[in-house]
Amino acid sequence: MSNKPKILVLASWYPNRVTQHLGSFVQRQTEAAAAYADMCVLYVASDNSMKIKYELESDHINNIFTVCVYYKKVKGIFSFLKLWRYFNAHLLGWRYIQKEIGKPDLIHVSILWPSGIFAFYLNCFFGFKYIITEHWSGYLTSDGAYGRMNGFAKYFIRMIANRAKMITPVSNKLKQAMISQGFKTNYELVYNTANVSIFYPPIENKISDKIKFLHVSTLVEKEKNVFGILNTVKQLSLKRKNFFLEIISEKDFSECKTYVKKLEISDEFVSFSGPADASEIADAMRKSHCFVLFSNYENLPVVIIESLACGLPVISTSVGGVPDHITEDFGILIPPKDENALCKAMETMMDNWMKYNSEKMRRYAVDNFSYEAVGEKFNEIYRKII
């Protein structure tokens, strides 16, 4: 019989049949913890295609017992029926998990809202302890989504947070934002993870006749500011010719391509590809000279720590947890929305990319973001709380 602690993850975001890549970073953190604990995941999602009210699927995925409960979507932005189906789906999953593997030693909420509702219920009525890992940028003033919520929702979220034994944000900036919102509990930073067995530096020297910049994101414009990158590519193309930008995403590129045409950017300067799996993204990083992120707000983007694992220098805006890790040894930080600063940084990188120490970046990523590093951190927290 295993002497590992039994941990139930209640995930607000998790890869599933409706949104296959949602919360992939949550899945990776859970996989990291699975080396030290018996992990089980319960995820609840609505599904437009369902004919019945509830459907449960379970499987063992990468050493994690994963239970997904789907419920028939309720029309309207919010209703009591929607809340009830969401909660009842958790009840169905909870009963199934207890039958299959027994009661957990600890509840681990991944992203407080809305899955923290069920953890709050289990704590109030059955005494289960829970911790919360937070990734959501909504608490940051630069995002402001939490501030725009109604007063009752914010009050309930604070209650859930303050009953947690610990909150583990992925960045210090997020920690400070949560504290400023009145979330008064214990905190420990636990970073996002990078699969360092997939993301590693190139074996051979890179070809440098044309400098390749890489951007990988969801293309959510209000957050990622991809149009700002494209504006800068246009600006830089009027000065330099020996570069190009590759943009990889699982999302539709039609708006970006229309904008490229509007700016009259030649195909020699920008290309689009995707969707791509982790190994394909890692390969693209190994073939690139610099990763570019021009976000208006972030917490700790996984693509940045994956870039470091590949020994790839980074240009990024100084937002969220990025400045905690991107020092002058690892890249260039610029203010958000400053296209002139981005253009200058890209020019500087074109002339100096070879001066960055790839192995030093790699070592930093392994020490801080590998499955082993993150898993050991969660193991310490689990055993301390239990």
pLDDT computed for residue 164 by the predictor: 98
256-261-266-271 Cα dihedral, nearest 10 degrees:
20
pLDDT computed for residue 2 by the predictor: 67
What is the domain count for the chain?
A: 2
Is 49 within a domain?
Answer: yes
Residues 169 and 262 in one domain: no
> How far lies 90's CA from each of 84, 280, 293, in Å?
10, 35, 37
pLDDT computed for residue 3 by the predictor: 84
Residues 246 and 134 in one domain: no
Is 115 within a domain?
Answer: yes
Residues 183 and 35 in one domain: yes
Residues 171 and 26 in one domain: yes
pLDDT computed for residue 317 by the predictor: 98
Residue (of 242, 258, 366, 358) closest to 311 by Cα position: 358
pLDDT computed for residue 1 by the predictor: 43
Residue (of 5, 119, 108, 20) closest to 61 by Cα position: 20
Rounded distance, CA 91 to CA 335, Å? 46
Whole-model pTM: value is: 0.93
Q: Which domain holds residue 328?
A: 211-368
Burial 137-174 (b: 16+ CB within 10 A, else e): bbbbeebeebeeeeeeebebbbebbebbbbbbbbbebb
Residues 126 and 168 in one domain: yes
Q: What count of Cα atoms within 13 Å lies in the side-chain half-sphere of residue 175?
A: 16
Residues 105 and 26 in one domain: yes
Q: Is the dihedral of CA 91, 97, 102, 105 positive or negative?
A: negative
The CATH number linked to 319 is 3.40.50.2000
pLDDT computed for residue 101 by the predictor: 94
Residues 323 and 380 in one domain: no
Is 162 within a domain?
Answer: yes
Which residues of the chain are under the pLDDT cut of 50?
Answer: 1
Is 137 within a domain?
Answer: yes
Residues 357 and 374 in one domain: no
